[in-house]
């Protein structure tokens, strides 16, 4: 029989268990499992994608999932992994973010039937709960000493934590209790930085119910081989909304991951069996210079997040950047590539190649620009430049707008009219 926990552990995705043996025993029969999503932005990001892949694998193994968007708890802010107090979002912003995230989760997880998955907003009950009810029903179950011992709170004592964020643990715990009572949800999963909240949730149910069968487990927060947080680029978080971060940016992020990370990421994000994935890893390891693993990883992730058509477009753009031949790209695709290159905007109808090299920061001076041209290391729109007097005319630019300049094999700049 397929053991989904063994599979997730072998993929390097799971971290801690309240009781692994019991979790595995429970999962021998259909269970209801929940995870929460924080509406701190109008889009989820690649870090959330890890949680979604865990839920999706559990769902494919035959279990029912519940995804809760924190329309209520998001009004407070989760202190997990934060060094300082969050700024409150307005109620309007939180509600807007909840609706956006609902659409995203519905794209990646199956909520077609309540038997397969349920999508909830905890604001639906927290906004109806009085302060007195909250304190009597839940606050009474938590001692201050118990909460202070949790790393999620203790790590913030020096910098300071408000009562609002301090109470977040109780709110999340009460969510699990509500789901246990209403939907028979007995398992909760969350990120490793949520461990204090996860265990507190489980212990609340054990206090309020007689011999409940409940457990929690966590997934690892993915980092790269240097310990840097996964899903962050120089421009910030890699959001799943294509209007906030382009699919091409995500494609390039994975194209550029190190050889030390590519096999690990393939096991995490590729839905195929581990034996199939291993064949690709072996092929990559045989010829790492071809970056086979990075290309397959980037393609599969963008296909999943957006569509195979979008992944094909990203592949075409990436190959154009590698080859230096941009002639087959559409204007929108070319502009997507150019936005990340050092570039210079020309007001007139032409610019000399030496000035273009300096203006696009591919040369520090005209003297250096002359050396590059004379050595044959400059190509403009794929064509080698061998004249120091060459002029880039607007009429000859791609779409009468763009020249892409390549110096050597890897250095690019752009001129825009």
Could you list the residues known to form a binding site for L-tyrosine, using ranges.
34, 168, 172
CA dihedral 306, 307, 311, 312 (to 10 degrees): -150
What values do phi and psi take at 111, rounded to 5?
-115, 25
Separation in Å, CA 46 to CA 106, 233, 416: 16, 11, 32
Binding-site residues, in ranges, read: 34, 168, 172, 232
Q: Are 61 and 2 in contact (CB under 8 A)?
A: yes
For residue 386, the number of C-alpha atoms closer than 13 Å in the C-beta half-sphere is 2
With contact defined as beta carbons under 8 Å apart, do 343 and 359 qualify? no
What is 48-108 written as a DSSP string? HHHHHHHHHHHHHTT-EEEEEE-TTGGGT---TT-SSPPPPPPHHHHHHHHHHHHHHHHHH
For residues 198 and 188, is the Cβ–Cβ distance under 8 A? yes
Mark the binding-site residues for ATP, compressed into ranges: 232
* CA dist., res. 205 & res. 209, Å (int): 6
DSSP string, 135-202: HHHTGGG--HHHHHHSHHHHTTTTT---HHHHTHHHHHHHHHHHHHHHH---EEEEEGGGHHHHHHHH
DSSP, res 395: G
Strand order in the sheet with 215-219: 14-17, 215-219, 187-191, 32-37, 64-69, 117-121
**Which pair of tokens denotes residue 241?**
């909304």
């Amino acid at each position: 029989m397929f053991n989904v926990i063994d599979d997730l552990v072998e993929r390097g995705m799971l971290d801690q268990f309240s009781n692994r043996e019991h979790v595995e025993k429970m999962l021998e029969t259909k269970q209801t499992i929940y995870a929460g999503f924080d509406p701190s932005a109008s889009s989820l990001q690649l870090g959330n994608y890890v949680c979604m892949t865990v839920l999706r694998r559990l769902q494919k193994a035959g279990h029912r999932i519940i995804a809760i968007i924190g329309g209520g708890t998001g009004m407070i802010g989760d202190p997990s992994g934060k060094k300082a107090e969050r700024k409150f979002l307005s109620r309007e912003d939180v509600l807007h973010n909840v609706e956006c995230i609902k659409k995203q989760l519905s794209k990646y997880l199956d909520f077609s039937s309540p038997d397969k998955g349920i999508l909830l907003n905890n604001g639906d009950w927290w906004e109806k709960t009085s302060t007195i009810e909250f304190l009597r029903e839940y606050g009474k179950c938590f001692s201050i000493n118990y909460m202070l011992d949790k790393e999620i709170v203790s790590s913030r004592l020096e910098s300071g934590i408000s009562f609002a964020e301090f109470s977040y643990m109780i709110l999340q715990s009460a969510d699990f209790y509500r789901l246990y009572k209403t939907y028979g949800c007995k398992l909760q999963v969350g990120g490793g930085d949520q461990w204090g909240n996860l265990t507190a949730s489980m212990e609340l149910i054990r206090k309020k119910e007689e011999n409940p069968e409940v457990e929690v487990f966590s997934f690892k927060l993915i980092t790269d081989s240097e310990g840097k947080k996964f899903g962050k680029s120089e421009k910030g978080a890699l959001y799943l909304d294509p209007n906030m971060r382009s699919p091409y940016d995500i494609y390039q992020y994975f194209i550029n991951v190190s050889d030390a990370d590519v096999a690990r990421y393939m096991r995490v994000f590729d839905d195929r069996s581990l034996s199939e994935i291993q064949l690709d890893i072996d092929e990559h390891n045989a010829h790492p210079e071809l970056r086979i693993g990075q290309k397959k990883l980037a393609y599969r992730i963008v296909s999943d997040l957006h569509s195979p058509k979008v992944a094909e477009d990203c592949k075409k753009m990436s190959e154009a950047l590698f080859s230096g031949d941009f002639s087959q790209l559409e204007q929108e695709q070319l502009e997507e590539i150019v936005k990340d290159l050092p570039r210079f905007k020309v007001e007139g109808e032409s610019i000399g190649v030496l000035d273009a090299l300096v203006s696009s920061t591919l040369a520090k001076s005209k003297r250096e620009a002359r050396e590059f041209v004379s050595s044959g290391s400059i190509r403009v729109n794929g064509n080698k430049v061998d004249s120091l007097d060459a002029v880039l005319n607007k009429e000859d630019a791609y779409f009468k707008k763009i020249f892409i300049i390549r110096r050597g094999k890897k250095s690019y700049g752009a001129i825009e009219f």
